[in-house]
Amino acid sequence: MKNEQIKVKCVGMDEEGKGIVKIKGKEVHVPYLIDGETAVVEVTEKRNFISAKVVRIQEKSKDRVIPKCKYFNQCGGCQLQHLSYEAQGNFKQNSILKLMKKYKKVNEILTMKDPYFYRNKVHAAVAYDKKGDIVSGIYEENTHHVTAVKECIIQHKPADEITESIRELMKSFKLKPYNEDTGQGFLRHVLVKTGFVSKQVMVVLVVSSQVFPGKNNFVNELLKKHPEITTVVMNVNNRKTSVVLGETEKVLFGKGYIEDTLCGCIFQISPKSFYQINPIQTEVLYNKAIDMAKLTSNEIVLDAYCGIGTISLIVSHKAKNVIGVELNKDAVKDAIKNAKRNKINNVHFYNEDAGKFMVELAKKKQSIDTVFMDPPRSGSDEKFLSSLVHLEPKKIIYISCNPITQERDLRYLTKHGYSVEEIQPVDMFPQTYHVETVCLMSRV
């Protein structure tokens, strides 16, 4: 069966929002197909692996809408734009229900009032197109081919305009995009970070060499076009790698960082800082997590994977003492600066592995009342979880950007003395299949 067109019925959707159909007795996952739809798909079979793509929809779902973005079928950054926003919320709610209902009733998902233009961090790769014109955009899914994107409907609008100006300036300053295959060229990526409250804007130019011809004039011209820019940083990445940022940085204008306010605290954001990309829903998520903890100002709180100290500092005024632990030393430096910036004295940050740190606390018989944990997508390893169980906090607030690994970790914790008390999904990333979940656990 090769490039054959057949009619199929969609019988469900997977966790990434792809439609599930049956072909030759096998489950095949088809992008942009909605549960209940009938469609003609083009089927390709290679070495017993079957893939399919939609040719035309014959019977449409009532939930299908026309995507607002003209790049939707090329880009791959948003997987659910063909679903109404109400249907996106239902899809995510049902995904969490399937995973988590065995533990506790799942609260109704907290969605966004306006599910567009929410990203405060915009990353654009720079390249030549087939005509030899400079383009910027995002990599097509599973490739390093840059899809030219002039306007993204989930990114903060001014960032697209700044990136467009940089492309124009590259022509007049004769700066070439970096070519990954040859290692030739200068500008690799443009990163724009925006403070939604402060309105401060950082532009990071990721380049392949420290030699930047006409850099002062380039920056001056950029600032003339965009006086809203508060700092410009040159980041040098001369390695053949898919990692965006290099180690060396030089501030070309401003302070080299921006600040923004989240849940009443001011945070310093540098080029390498991890800061939640949807500040509106981050406040919803963090307020819910803190509400779950029901702190009385007498507790000792541990914030594992504390990053630049967001949760630690936000929770500090409701706790007696807060301990923040983070392995990334740059993030810990930022966290300490952020504590000073906010004049907060009851938070102490440690640059250590959280698992080892908790084992040491347990050995010292240090009492911890509540642990907040917000691990990476891979979740926590068993070493960390066993350390957490050993520490015996009364409450665990587990925030996750990957419910599948979170459910795996809940399985471990419920076998080792904890029960799940509350589960709250939050839509942090509208138009995509990603969903954030916060769980409250108590020691049995």
Give the Å distances, CA to CA, from 33 to 64, 187, 281, 325, 344.
9, 37, 28, 43, 50
Backbone φ and ψ for 224, nearest 5 degrees, come out as -65, -40
Give the CA dihedral 197, 150, 17, 398, nearest 10 degrees: -30
Which run of H or of E encompasses 52?
strand 49-59
Residue 281 and residue 427 in contact, taking contact as beta carbons nearer than 8 Å: yes
CA distance 201 to 275: 14
139: helix, strand or coil: strand
Q: 49 forms bridges with which residues in the sheet?
A: 46
What token pair was written down for 273?
Answer: 């800082």
Q: Counting every residue, how long is the chain?
A: 444
Bridge-based pairing state of the strands 12-13 and 2-9: unpaired
Of the candidates 69, 78, 401, 439, the residue annotated as catalytic is 401
Per-position b or e across 54-87, b if 16+ CB within 10 A of its CB: beebeeebebbeebebebbebbbbbbbbbbebeb
Nearest to 399 by CA among 276, 308, 300: 276
Nearest to 31 by CA among 74, 94, 89: 74
What token pair was written down for 144?
Answer: 């390093």
CA distance 327 to 333: 11
Radius of gyration of the chain, Cα coordinates, nearest whole angstrom: 24
CA distance 379 to 381: 7
Indicate the residue type of 116. Y
Residue 444: DSSP 8-state: -
What token pair was written down for 16?
Answer: 């990434």
Nearest to 318 by CA among 332, 338, 340, 303: 303
Q: Let me know if 401 is a catalytic residue.
A: yes
Residue 246: DSSP 8-state: -
CB-based burial label for 264 (10 Å; 0-12, 13-18, 19+):
exposed
Catalytic (active-site) positions: 401
